[in-house]
């Protein structure tokens, strides 16, 4: 597949760009490297190579930690019991003072500001006098670079910033790095950071308004025209026009601007209905016994291209992996009615194709120095199980999907009836029964429906922790309390099967790698 080669070319740019150790140590280039840098940016292909290098580097953090792994563990999806030897226990218990968490946080901060440093160098070259970037490539390169810069800053705002409100928006959080200067950048308030994110996304949207995805669709395949380059194909693996707008809707919702979130979501939904760029997946594509599409790839608006996805799956979800690292649901059967299984409460419809395609019962061998080895059945998560053929979705890890846009519209809709329409469109695509409005259904009940669908749609994609934080929820649906006598969970009466959260636990401390540098400076 040529797509693999396209992203491999991006690694060339990494030979002349250096990842940084913090937001204070920007890209450093000596005389020899400066010559190599100028050679890289002497034609369109060089710019695309540099941009692809950033997309490729994203896999280091988003390939697991900020998608299917740590961040979803913090959202309590999986059975990671307290006081066990599980290597994700620190994250499941939100223990920010522990060394493992501090190390992980330092790594995320360093990596994301490193990506941003490379983006700013690329942007400098886009607009420098005598640039070699042609008019055809300019809007794609600059538009996607600006969108990526906003994407990374927004995720750091969601991690390290406050639960956003009019009372907290002036909280000092982080720098917004928009220059390749090595100078220390000032810490800004959450409101200032959000404003700069939206500024970059608005400019990116304008640059990408003629994105080929709007006329030709996602173009998941090599061109049949030997004269056409694949540079502008495979748009789902890049921050395309629609993904930029979806990210804007996500940002608007985060800062409480429901009007703009709603309008932006509706613009996407309306155009998508007209052009069917991101159609709902067909049931037979999910249930295909040879190569089931468990990530529902036609609906994905922006995704990683991760050739190591199989390795992440094997280490996190496969029963062949280490019991102290495997993530799974508590329970012993896929059948409905097991009151000690989280699966029973996670899905409300036995025919849900998310349930049938993404879960299986696996047998684990539990070994201990104190007791004899024993067998135990668990419910394994198969969303990222490797495909048997080299299909485009084989290496896909979704970062933004169309169903989220529908749920944003549902949350911001003006009436419960309108909200239910968006929710039921998702449910119809998942082979679920239509939810009927009750006379007593008001805004609170609608939000419960949205919460349940979001939880099912986004598992393995690193968005649920942000949802809990945005909603300032003090209880999460637990992954480890099920199976204990007397415990159960329902959305109407979450009694025992919950994980209680203090609101302060949603805010990550500034990483030591950054805090220490500011003290020494």
Phi/psi of residue 92, nearest 5 degrees: -60, -35
Binned at pLDDT 50, 70 and 90, residue 20 comes out as: very low
The contacts of residue 483 (CB under 8 Å, 6+ apart) are 330, 331, 340, 341
Rounded Cα–Cα distance for residues 276 and 422 (Å): 16
- Strands, E, within 166-292: which ranges? 172-174, 188-189
Percent of the chain with pLDDT over 70: 87
Let me know if 293 is exposed, middle or buried by CB neighbors in 10 A (0-12, 13-18, 19+): buried
3-state secondary structure 369-385: CCCCCEEEEEEEECCCC
Q: What is the mean pLDDT of residues 342-363?
A: 92
- Segment 154-181 shows an average pLDDT of 96
Say what the pLDDT of residue 487 is: 44
Q: Could you give the CA distance from residue 16 to residue 146 in angstroms, rounded to a whole number? A: 21
pLDDT (tens digit per residue) in 201-217: 999 999 999 999 999 99
Closest CA to 429 of 279, 268, 303, 246: 279
**H/E element, 443:** helix 443-457
pLDDT at residue 91 is higher than 90: yes
d(CA 196, CA 255): 13
Q: Look at residues 165, 189, 173 and name the one whose alpha carbon lies nearest to residue 255.
A: 165
What pLDDT band is residue 199 in, cutting at 50, 70 and 90? very high
Bridge partner list, 498:
477
Distance CA 443, CA 412 (A): 10
pLDDT at position 246 over 80: yes
**With bands split at pLDDT 50, 70 and 90, how would you rate the model's confidence at 30?**
very low
Residue 284 has a pLDDT of 96
pLDDT at 285 over 50: yes
252 membership: H or E segment, kind and range: helix 241-254
SS3 at position 15? helix
- In this structure, the dihedral spanned by the alpha carbons of residues 496, 498, 499 and 500, taken in order and rounded to 10 degrees, is -80
Taking only the tens place, the pLDDT of each residue in 383-412 is 999 998 888 899 999 999 999 999 999 999
Between residues 339 and 155, the one the model is more confident about: 155
Closest CA to 237 of 293, 139, 304, 151: 304
- Report the candidate in 214, 209, 249, 246 with the shortest Cα–Cα distance to residue 402: 246
Mean pLDDT of the residues in the chain: 88
pTM of the shown model: 0.92
Q: What is the spatial distance between Cα 55 and Cα 170, in angstroms, rounded to a whole number?
A: 32
């Amino acid at each position: 597949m040529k797509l693999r080669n396209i992203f491999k070319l991006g690694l060339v740019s990494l030979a002349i760009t250096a990842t940084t150790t913090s937001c204070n140590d920007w890209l450093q280039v000596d005389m020899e490297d400066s010559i190599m840098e100028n050679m890289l940016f002497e034609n369109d292909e060089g710019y695309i190579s540099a941009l692809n290098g950033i997309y490729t580097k994203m896999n280091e953090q988003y390939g697991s930690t900020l998608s299917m792994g740590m961040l979803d563990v913090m959202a309590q999806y999986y059975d990671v019991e307290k006081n066990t030897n599980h290597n994700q226990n620190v994250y499941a218990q939100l223990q920010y003072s522990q060394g493992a968490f501090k190390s992980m946080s330092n790594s995320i901060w360093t990596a994301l500001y490193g990506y941003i440093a490379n983006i700013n160098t690329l942007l400098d070259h886009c607009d420098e006098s005598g640039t070699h970037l042609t008019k055809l490539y300019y809007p794609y390169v600059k538009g996607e670079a600006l969108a990526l810069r906003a994407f990374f800053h927004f995720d750091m705002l969601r991690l390290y910033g406050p639960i956003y409100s009019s009372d907290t928006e002036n909280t000092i959080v982080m720098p917004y790095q928009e220059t390749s200067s090595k100078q220390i950048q000032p810490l800004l308030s959450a409101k200032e950071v959000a404003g700069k994110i939206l500024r970059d996304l608005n400019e990116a949207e304008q640059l990408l308004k003629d994105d080929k995805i709007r006329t030709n669709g996602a173009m998941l395949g090599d061109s049949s025209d030997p004269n056409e380059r694949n540079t502008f194909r495979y748009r789902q693996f890049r921050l395309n026009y629609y993904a930029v707008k979806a990210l804007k809707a996500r940002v608007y919702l985060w800062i409480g601007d429901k009007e703009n979130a709603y309008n932006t979501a509706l613009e996407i939904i309306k155009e998508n209905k007209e052009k069917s760029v991101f159609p709902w997946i067909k049931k037979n594509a999910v249930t295909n016994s040879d190569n089931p599409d468990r990530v529902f790839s036609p609906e994905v608006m922006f995704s990683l291209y991760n050739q190591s996805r199989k390795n992440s799956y094997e280490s996190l979800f496969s029963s062949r992996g280490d019991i102290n690292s495997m993530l799974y649901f508590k329970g012993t059967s896929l059948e409905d009615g097991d009151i000690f299984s989280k699966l029973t409460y996670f899905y409300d419809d036995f025919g849900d194709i998310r349930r049938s395609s993404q879960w299986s019962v696996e047998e684990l061998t539990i070994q201990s120095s104190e007791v004899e080895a024993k067998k135990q059945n668990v419910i394994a998560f198969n969303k990222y199980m490797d495909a048997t053929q080299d299909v485009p979705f084989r290496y896909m890890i979704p970062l933004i999907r169309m169903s989220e846009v529908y749920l944003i519209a549902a949350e911001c809709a003006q009436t419960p009836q309108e909200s239910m329409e968006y929710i039921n469109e998702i449910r119809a695509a998942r082979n679920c029964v239509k939810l009927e409005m009750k006379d007593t259904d008001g805004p609170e009940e609608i939000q419960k429906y949205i919460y349940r669908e979001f939880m099912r749609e986004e598992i393995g994609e690193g968005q649920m922790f942000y949802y809990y934080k945005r909603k300032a929820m003090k209880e999460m649906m637990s992954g480890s309390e099920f199976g204990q006598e007397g415990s159960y969970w329902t959305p109407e009466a979450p009694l025992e099967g919950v994980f209680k959260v203090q609101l302060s636990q949603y805010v990550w401390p500034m990483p030591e790698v950054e805090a220490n540098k500011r003290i020494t400076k």
